Structure 1
Amino acid sequence: MSPSTEELLATVQRYYESGSQLHSALAMSPETEQRQAKWTQWLEDMAPWRQFRAHLSQALPSFLIGETYSTHDGGPRCIVYPPKAALAPTSNWIVVGCVSLLAPVYVVHGVVCDGIDGRLRNPVVSFEPPPPDMAIPARMVARTIETVFGYSAVPRETLETPVPLVAGSREPPDTTLFHTLFTNEPARLP
């Protein structure tokens, strides 16, 4: 069972500063130190993440699977790209699975990009259901996260809850639970 919205709000307040409490760039805030400690702990034992990635690689052999983890974010992200031969000039849907290090939750969303000269351009985040050709990878990412980590999906309404915190380049009133639990730059892909 996923934590309540109130529980998630209380959690992220321990890991991000409010706009009125920003510290100088030279000193790390107590909130940032706590978030960094979560990342350090995760980096010291990446075995579950490696198991998750290996399972996805085996289950989705024709897809390119990448990852990104920035210690400015609330957790790592796994990216499932469509097979290169399937790239279209417009509307390529990339699956992104986000695992939070701050709470036992995850989200799977999409990034829609144009395929220009063999490269993905103009990324736009999508929380809509994936198109048929990416539905199986999206379900596989969600199922594998639940199996390996035991985490619960966060409902979209909860993800959109505003928080009075600064997450990377996001400042109130534009910061949401999504930005603090997962990433402040959801359209940015490696």
Structure 2
Amino acid sequence: MSILAPVFTVYGVSFEYEGCKRSGARLHLDPLPEAMKGTAHLIARELEARFNVSRLPREVAAIPVPLVVEWTRPPQTTLFDALFTSDPTNIP
């Protein structure tokens, strides 16, 4: 959930394992892998019900914004970057 707007996103992370050692983290956004969809749906439903927030549509999340957020600079910075960080660096 964003602390700046009443929106959220649900994502998944998968890892590769060599024995007990975890490596190769991979971020999954919509569409999520089939194995993650059920859990993501439950999480989304609970967020909407408990916190009265809405899922941020991917096409809206991709809108460019004129902010430096962590290591991302315009024109690569998106609304997603700005809404889901606690430390926007500066406004050009």
- TM-score interval (norm. to shorter): 0.7 to 0.9
Letter of the 1:109 partner, please give it: Y
More helix as a share of residues:
1
Question: Corresponding residue for 2:65?
Answer: 163
Question: Corresponding residue for 2:19?
Answer: 117
TM-score (normalizing by structure 1)? 0.41
Q: How large is the Cα RMSD of the aligned pairs?
A: 1.9
> 1:176 offset after TM fit, Å?
0.7
> 1:164 offset after TM fit, Å?
1.2
**Any stretches of 5+ residues in structure 1 without a counterpart?**
1-98, 185-190
Q: 1:183 to 1:117 in 2, by over 3 A?
A: farther
Letter of the 1:168 partner, please give it: E
**Any stretches of 5+ residues in structure 2 without a counterpart?**
87-92
Q: Match of 2:75, SS?
A: coil
What is the aligned residue count?
86
Letter of the 1:130 partner, please give it: L
CA distance in 1, matches of 2:64, 2:85: 14
Letter of the 1:129 partner, please give it: P
More strand as a share of residues:
2
Q: State the identity as a percent.
A: 40
Letter of the 2:48 partner, please give it: E
2:30 and 2:58 in contact (8 A); partners too: no
CA distance in 1, matches of 2:64, 2:18: 35
Deviations for 1:25-67, whole angstroms, at most 9, x for unmatched residues? xxxxxxxxxxxxxxxxxxxxxxxxxxxxxxxxxxxxxxxxxxx
Deviations for 1:154-185, whole angstroms, at most 9, x for unmatched residues? 1101111111101112211221111111149x
Out of 24, 33, 37, the residue aligned to residue 135 of structure 1 is 37
**What is the correspondence of 1:31-180 to structure 2 with a 5 Å cutoff?**
99-180=1-82
Q: Match of 2:72, SS?
A: coil
> 1:119 offset after TM fit, Å?
3.7
Q: 1:157 to 1:120 in 2, by over 3 A?
A: farther
